Structure 1
Amino acid sequence: MRPILVFCLPAIGDFIRCHSAIQVLAEKFPGCPIDVTTSALAAPLARLMPHIRKTWIVEKHWRPGLKQRARLARELRKENYQAAYMLTSSTKAALVPWLAGIPERIGYPREFQFGIINRLPAGWLKSFVAFGPRKTRLFEQVCTIAMRGEKPTDGMRLPAPQMAVPAEELSDWRARHGIEPARPALALYTSAFTNFRSWPAERFISIAKDHARRGWSVWLIGGPREREAAAQIRAAFPEAVDFTSTPRLADAMCQIAASTAFLGVDGGLCHAAAALGGPCVLIFGSNRSYETGPVNDHVRYIEPPISTPSWVYHTRDVSEERVLAALADAMAQTRRLQEA
Structure 2
Amino acid sequence: MLAVGGGCVGSKRYRALRPILVYCLPAIGDFIRCHSAVQIIAEAFPGHPIDVVTSPLAAPLARLMPHVRKAWTVEKHWNPGLKERARLARELRRENYQAAYLLSSSTKAALIPWLAGIPERIGYPREFQFGIVNRLPAGWLKSFVAFGPRKTRLFEQVCAIAMSGKQPGGDTRLPQPRMVVSPEDISAWRVRHGIDAARPALALYTSEFSNFRSWPAERFISVAKDHARRGWSIWIVGGPREREAAAQIRTALPEAVDFTSTPDITDAMCQIGAATVFLGVDGGICHAASALGAPCVLIFGSNRSYETGPVNDHVRFLEPPISTPSWIYHTRGVGEERVLAALADAVASRPRDA
Q: What is the TM-score of this pair, normalised by structure 1?
A: 0.96
2:34 maps to 18
Residue 169 of structure 1 aligns to a residue in which SS?
Answer: helix
Paired residue for 2:46, among 3, 21, 30?
A: 30
Q: CA deviation at 1:229?
A: 0.6
Code of the aligned partner of 1:200 = P
164-173 or 230-239, which deviates more:
164-173
Shift of 1:61: 3.8
1:142 to 158, 161, 170: 158
Counterpart among 276, 283, 286 of residue 260 in structure 1: 276
List alignment gaps of at least 5 residues for structure 2. 1-16
- Structure 1 residues 15-164: aligned runs within 5 Å: 15-131=31-147, 134-164=150-180
CA distance in 2, matches of 1:132, 1:78: 41
Deviation string, structure 1 residues 110-158 (Cα, Å, up to 9, x no partner):
1131001001110011111115994310100000000000001110000
Structure 1 gaps of 5+ residues are none
Match of 1:3 among 19, 28, 40: 19
Count of aligned pairs between the two proteins: 338
Whole-angstrom distance in 2 between the partners of 1:62 and 1:86 = 13
Q: Is the 8 A contact 1:127 1:133 kept in 2?
A: no
Q: For the structure 1 residues 142 and 301, does the alpha-carbon distance in structure 2 shift closer, same or farther, using more than 3 Å as the test? A: same
Q: Which residue does the alignment assign to 1:271?
A: 287
Aligned-residue offset at 1:225: 0.6
Separation in structure 2 between the aligned mates of residue 167 and residue 133 of structure 1, nearest angstrom: 42
SS at match of 2:173: coil
Match of 2:342 among 326, 329, 336: 326
Q: Which runs of 4+ in 1 moved over 3 A?
A: 131-135, 307-310
Name the CA distance, whole Å, in 2 between partners of 1:179 and 1:338: 18
RMSD after superposition: 1.5
Match of 2:168, as an amino acid? P
- Separation in 1 of the partners of 2:40 and 2:98? 17
The CA distance in 1 between the partners of 2:53 and 2:149, in whole Å, is 21
Q: Residue 287 of structure 2: SS of its match in structure 1?
A: helix
- d(CA) in 1 for partners of 2:281 and 2:73? 28
- 1:43-75 alpha-carbon deviations (Å, 9 max, x no partner): 000000000011111113453111101111111
Distance 1:113 1:51 in 2: 28
Q: Quote the offset at 1:331 in angstroms.
A: 1.4
Secondary structure of residue in 2 paired with 1:32: coil
> For 1:272 and 1:85, how far apart are their aligned partners in 2?
22
User: Which stretch shifts more, 203-212 or 124-133?
Assistant: 124-133
- Would the aligned equivalents of 2:186 and 2:274 in 1 still touch at CA under 8 Å? yes
Is the CA contact 1:287–1:310 (under 8 Å) kept in the aligned structure 2?
A: no
Moved more, 164-173 or 290-299: 164-173
Cα distance in 2, alignment partners of residues 63 and 186 from structure 1: 38
Q: Which amino acid aligns with 2:166?
A: E
- Alignment of 1:188 onto 2:204: yes
**Structure 1 residues 307 and 114: alpha-carbon distance in aligned structure 2, compared to 1, 3 A threshold:** closer
CA contact (8 A) 2:124 2:144 kept: yes
1:205-220 matches, cutoff 5 A: 205-220=221-236
Distance (Å, rounded) in 2 between the aligned partners of 1:275 and 1:308: 32
Percent identity of equivalent pairs = 80
Letter in 2 for 1:232: Q
Contact 1:253 1:272 in 2 (8 A): yes
* TM-score, normalised with respect to structure 2: 0.93
What is the distance in 2 between the residues matched to 1:310 and 1:244? 34
Structure 2: distance between partners of 1:36 and 1:3: 11
Whole-angstrom distance in 1 between the partners of 2:63 and 2:225: 35
Distance 1:101 1:138 in 2: 28
- Aligned AA (1:220): I
Alignment match, 2:304: 288
Partner Cα distance (1:328, 1:99) in 2: 53
| 3-state secondary structure, aligned to 2:34 | helix
Letter of the 2:58 partner, please give it.
A
Structure 1 counterpart of 2:252, which letter? A
Deviations, residues 188-230 of structure 1 (Å, cap 9, x unaligned):
0000000000000010011001111111100011111101111
Q: Report the secondary structure of 1:334's partner residue.
A: coil
State whether residues 110 and 131 of structure 1, in contact with CA within 8 Å, keep that contact through their aligned partners in structure 2.
no
Deviation at 1:167, TM superposition (A): 2.1
Cα deviation, residue 30, structure 1: 1.1
Distance in 1 (CA, whole Å) between partners of 2:211 and 2:149 is 27
Alignment partner, residue 224 of structure 1: 240
CA contact 1:286–1:304 (8 Å) conserved in 2? yes
